Amino acid sequence: MSRTSTTRLVAGLAALPFVAISVLGAGLAANATSPVDGDHRVPYCHATHSEKNPFVFIETDKVAVVRAHEKHQDLEDVYPGFWYDDHGTPTWFEGRGDAAFAERGCVGGGGGGHG
């Protein structure tokens, strides 16, 4: 193998991780919601069923709450209501519990996500 071929092979292999990251990044972006009200992320308190630490603060894409957390942990997750893009249609998603509790990072009382 010539020196030029070796150099090209090394350069190509060095670029491979960057190509993979860019492809994965595009795939992740495709799963994110489009901002309806200026932001596609929502803060919420994820119920853990732990007496010491009953909630964990999470901020994620709104569609994750719509698809996965709405019915999670016996309906104990706490999140504010928000607008999200449901396949091109702005849709209101009703909050649960004390929205200020989620906005405070799940501290200072206000749990009680049943509702």
Whole-prediction pTM value? 0.59
DSSP string, 78-104: BB--EEEEETTEEEEE--BS-HHHHHT
**Which alpha helices (DSSP H) does 1-115 contain, by range?**
3-31, 62-64, 99-103
How many structural domains does the chain have?
2
Specify whether 96 is located in the same domain as 51: yes
17 and 60 share a domain?
A: no
- Does any domain span residue 108? no
Query: Do 89 and 65 have their domain in common?
Result: yes
Within a domain: 110: no
Residues 34-68: pLDDT tens digits? 555 567 888 889 888 899 999 999 998 888 888 87
Same domain assignment for residues 12 and 45: no
- Mark whether 97 and 49 lie in a shared domain: yes
DSSP state at residue 33: P
Q: Rounded to an integer, what distance in angstroms lies between the CA atom of residue 73 and that of residue 22?
A: 35
Are residues 5 and 45 located together in one domain of the fold? no
Per-residue model confidence as pLDDT tens digits over 61-106 = 888 888 876 566 677 889 899 998 888 899 999 988 898 998 889 9
Structural domain boundaries, residue 86: 41-103
Is 36 contained in some domain? no
* Residue 9 included in any domain: yes
Residues 24 and 69 in one domain: no
